[in-house]
């Protein structure tokens, strides 16, 4: 298993500063900037709406004043007489027109340089004008349908007269007797007053205000070439659907804030456009200054922290190098003890630890030498004991003579037992480290159980295993017999029961081969079984030995010996596991390694 290299203390300090100082500052700075920008935008919107409301009020007042000063003309007797003139009566027409031009028109235009001209046209086609009768008739033909129904005053639009842009306003004349429309008053006003009102508003360096009439034509715009041209598109009409409001127009370089308001009196829509970047210009400068200050403070903090951590970690790195040398076996290392702070205490503790380890190693080495000496003596004793034992060949020959006499006397049980016993001796004295297959172990345990069946007539033996798989299962010599002997000894005889059943069954399980050994004797209690299984899984029986709970199960030929031999040969997770152990019997599973090919060539197939 690979382990990632741990971060150094210096790196951890830097990360702490980054995550607990830099990141919070950046997050709060971003939130502060967004909220401040949003507040500036709202203030700008509110301020612009108020300005446009004032401009609309001024424009409405301007046109109301035009309506007021021209109202006396509607009821003036000369105007009423002019409307009733016969187009064929040239003399009366000349007199009345001249009187109107000399008396009425000057009273209206005096002191009003914004009024370019006035025209009066009757329904019969007679016209008089302060500048041109012909132009008056043309205006009448052009605008006679612009004032219809109850609308007797309307701002028609913008046009050019002698290269001068003028705004045309049309009013109906009503007959004082019939109250029917008898003609029209056409007023042409210069745009200087409207321009003066609009230019009072300053929306930053690039912001501007423009006016669009009810038909979508431009009345005023900073770009004069757009005056009088159609500006209303379907997209803009959708955005200007309400009486007033605002929206943000996305652009590649800069987004613009659009605020609009429609006048109920004139039907004009005032539209202001201002750059969001310009609105937030001061805020962006403040943000940039703040960011640089924060970065400077963080840089200073990192430098101070790096210097302090470098000073702090030098002693730790030196101690780490000493510990690495100690790990490699050099126990003569010694850390400096001149410091009086925590690092000095750590160095002194390291020195004491190394000295204690050196002392313990010396003791272990001494005890190991004593153990080796005792082991040599034990081997010599065992050799002497083996030399005193009967020669195995003498036993084989003796059993062969017994078998011969049994055959001569026709005593088949004695012959079978002698042959089985010889096979058992021959298998058991083989090389313990030699690899065997489960097929050989099954053959051996079958021979062993045949002798036990001669001893216990009521013993039923059941061995179920697929003969095709047994040569492919790896085994260790004499691993089944200790489990069967434990069944006889602890399951039956310890409870004064005659052995009645021994079962051995093999099966494939999760890619491994599991051999199950069963008996019908008296088992152990549940807690003891769980402790045994815990020892099998952990691979250590010292705790159970210290508690004195290992009677015959973990002796030299018992379950623990078998489990350890299997575990040493094949590794984890192979070995024993007690599946069941109670009043009805014991079941032990032996997990073995399945090789998927014959372990040893030339092995028989019959079980």
Tell me the C-alpha distance between 229 and 399, whole Å: 130
Check residue 525 and give its pLDDT: 86
Check residue 3 and give its pLDDT: 42
Check residue 187 and give its pLDDT: 82
**Average pLDDT of the chain, as a whole number:** 76
In this structure, what are the phi and psi dihedrals at residue 172, rounded to the nearest 5 degrees? -85, 145
460-464 and 501-509: which strand pairing?
parallel
Tell me the C-alpha distance between 190 and 60, whole Å: 16
Beta carbons within 10 angstroms of residue 212's beta carbon: 23
Query: Does position 568 have pLDDT exceeding 80, yes or no?
Result: yes
Tokens 């050099």 appear where? Answer: 330
User: Among 221, 209, 206, which Cα is nearest to 277's?
Assistant: 206
CB 575 within 8 A of CB 441: no
Percent of the chain at pLDDT > 90 equals: 9
DSSP string for 230-282: B---HHHHHHT-SSEEEEEE--SS--EEEEEEE-TTT--EEEEEEEHHHHTHH
Beta carbons within 10 angstroms of residue 322's beta carbon: 19
Tokens 């070439």 appear where? Answer: 225
Listed range (52-56, 91-95, 392-396) with the worst mean pLDDT: 392-396
Listed range (39-43, 393-397, 415-419, 444-448) with the worst mean pLDDT: 393-397
Query: Does position 14 have pLDDT exceeding 80, yes or no?
Result: no
Band of residue 248 on the pLDDT scale cut at 50, 70, 90: confident
pLDDT digits (tens, 9 = 90+) for 387-435: 444 556 666 667 777 878 778 877 777 877 777 777 777 777 666 666 7
Check residue 507 and give its pLDDT: 93
Check residue 204 and give its pLDDT: 66
Query: Does position 601 have pLDDT exceeding 50, yes or no?
Result: no
Q: Inter-axis angle of helices 342-387 and 281-327, to 10 degrees?
A: 40
pLDDT digits (tens, 9 = 90+) for 109-124: 777 787 877 777 777 7
Max mean pLDDT among 202-211, 269-278, 293-302, 480-489 falls in 480-489
This prediction's pTM: 0.43
pLDDT digits (tens, 9 = 90+) for 224-237: 888 878 877 788 77
Band of residue 304 on the pLDDT scale cut at 50, 70, 90: confident
Band of residue 586 on the pLDDT scale cut at 50, 70, 90: very high
Listed range (52-61, 179-188, 235-244, 468-477) with the worst mean pLDDT: 179-188
Average confidence (pLDDT) over 8-22: 68
Query: Does position 144 have pLDDT exceeding 70, yes or no?
Result: no
Band of residue 588 on the pLDDT scale cut at 50, 70, 90: very high
Burial of 58 (0-12, 13-18, 19+ CB in 10 A): middle
Band of residue 607 on the pLDDT scale cut at 50, 70, 90: very low
Check residue 603 and give its pLDDT: 38
Strands laid side by side in the 585-592 sheet: 460-464, 501-509, 512-519, 585-592, 575-582
Query: Does position 305 have pLDDT exceeding 60, yes or no?
Result: yes
DSSP string for 317-380: HHHHHHHHHHHTT-TT--------SHHHHHHHHHHHHHHHHHHHHHHHHHHHHHHHHHHHHHHH
In this structure, what are the phi and psi dihedrals at residue 203, rounded to the nearest 5 degrees? -110, 60
Q: Who wins on pLDDT, 288 or 265?
A: 265
Check residue 554 and give its pLDDT: 43
Check residue 391 and give its pLDDT: 58
Tell me the C-alpha distance between 258 and 207, whole Å: 10
Strands laid side by side in the 244-249 sheet: 218-220, 208-212, 269-275, 256-262, 244-249
pLDDT digits (tens, 9 = 90+) for 336-383: 777 677 777 778 887 888 888 888 888 888 877 777 766 666 665 555
Band of residue 504 on the pLDDT scale cut at 50, 70, 90: very high
Check residue 517 and give its pLDDT: 95
Contacts of residue 260, defined as CB under 8 A and 6 or more positions apart, other chains included, come to 52, 240, 244, 245, 246, 269, 270, 271, 272
pLDDT digits (tens, 9 = 90+) for 506-564: 999 998 999 999 999 998 888 888 888 888 887 655 555 555 454 444 443 478 888 88
Q: Who wins on pLDDT, 70 or 543?
A: 70
Percent of the chain at pLDDT > 70 equals: 76
Question: Which two structure tokens, joined as six digits, stand for 426?
Answer: 């021959």
Tell me the C-alpha distance between 552 and 549, whole Å: 9
**H/E element, 163:** none
Beta carbons within 10 angstroms of residue 446's beta carbon: 16
User: Among 241, 197, 257, which Cα is nearest to 211's?
Assistant: 197
3-class secondary-structure state, position 548? coil
Beta carbons within 10 angstroms of residue 553's beta carbon: 19
């Amino acid at each position: 298993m690979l382990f990632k290299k741990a971060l150094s203390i210096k790196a951890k300090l830097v990360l702490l500063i980054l995550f607990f100082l830099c990141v919070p500052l950046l997050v709060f700075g971003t939130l502060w900037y967004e909220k401040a920008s949003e507040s500036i935008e709202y203030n700008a919107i509110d301020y612009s709406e108020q300005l446009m409301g004032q401009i609309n009020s001024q424009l409405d007042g301007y046109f109301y004043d035009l309506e007021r000063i021209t109202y006396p003309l509607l009821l003036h007797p000369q105007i009423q007489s002019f409307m009733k003139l016969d187009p064929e009566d040239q003399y009366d027409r000349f007199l009345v027109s001249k009187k109107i031009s000399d008396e009425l028109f000057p009273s209206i235009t005096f002191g009003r340089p914004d009024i370019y001209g006035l025209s009066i046209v009757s329904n019969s086609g007679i016209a008089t004008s302060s500048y041109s009768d012909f132009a008056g008739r043309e205006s009448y033909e052009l605008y006679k349908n612009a004032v219809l129904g109850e609308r007797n005053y309307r701002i028609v639009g913008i046009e050019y007269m002698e290269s001068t842009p003028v705004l045309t306003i049309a009013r109906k004349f009503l007959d004082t007797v019939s109250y029917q429309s008898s003609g029209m008053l056409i007023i042409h006003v210069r745009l200087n007053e409207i321009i003066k009102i609009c230019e009072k508003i300053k929306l930053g360096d690039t912001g501007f205000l423009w006016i669009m009439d009810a038909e979508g034509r431009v009345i005023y715009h900073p770009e004069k070439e757009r005056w009088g041209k159609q500006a209303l598109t379907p997209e803009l009409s959708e955005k200007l659907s309400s009486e007033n409001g605002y929206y943000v127009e996305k652009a590649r370089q800069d987004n613009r804030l659009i605020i609009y308001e429609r006048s109920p009196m004139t039907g004009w829509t005032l539209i202001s456009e201002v750059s969001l970047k310009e609105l937030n210009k001061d805020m962006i400068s403040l943000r940039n200054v703040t960011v640089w200050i924060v970065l400077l403070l963080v840089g200073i903090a990192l430098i101070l922290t790096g210097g302090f951590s470098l000073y702090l970690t030098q002693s730790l790195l030196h101690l780490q190098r000493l510990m690495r040398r100690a790990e490699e076996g050099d126990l003569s290392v010694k850390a400096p003890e001149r410091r009086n702070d925590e690092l000095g205490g750590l160095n002194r503790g390291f020195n004491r630890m190394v000295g204690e380890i050196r002392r313990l190693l010396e003791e272990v080495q001494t005890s190991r030498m004593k153990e080796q000496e005792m082991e040599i003596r034990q081997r010599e004793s065992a050799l002497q004991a083996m030399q005193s034992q009967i020669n195995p060949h003498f036993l084989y020959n003796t059993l062969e003579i017994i078998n011969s006499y049994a055959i001569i006397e026709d005593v088949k049980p004695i012959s079978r037992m002698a042959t089985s016993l010889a096979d058992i001796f021959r298998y058991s004295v083989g090389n313990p480290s030699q690899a065997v297959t489960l097929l050989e172990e099954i053959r051996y345990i079958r021979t062993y159980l045949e002798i036990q069946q001669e001893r216990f007539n009521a013993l039923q033996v059941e061995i179920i295993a697929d003969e095709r798989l047994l040569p492919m299962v790896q085994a260790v010599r004499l691993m089944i017999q200790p489990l069967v002997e434990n069944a006889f000894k602890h399951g039956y005889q310890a409870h004064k029961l005659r052995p009645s059943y021994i079962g051995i069954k093999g099966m494939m399980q999760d890619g491994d081969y599991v051999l199950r050994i069963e008996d019908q004797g008296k088992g152990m209690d549940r807690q003891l079984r769980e402790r045994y299984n815990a020892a099998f899984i952990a691979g250590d029986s010292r705790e159970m030995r210290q508690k004195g709970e290992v009677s015959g199960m973990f002796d030299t030929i018992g379950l623990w010996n078998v489990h350890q031999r299997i575990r040493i040969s094949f590794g984890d997770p192979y070995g024993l596991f007690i599946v069941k152990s109670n009043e009805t019997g014991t079941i032990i599973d032996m997990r073995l390694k399945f090789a998927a090919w014959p372990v040893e060539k030339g092995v028989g197939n019959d079980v």
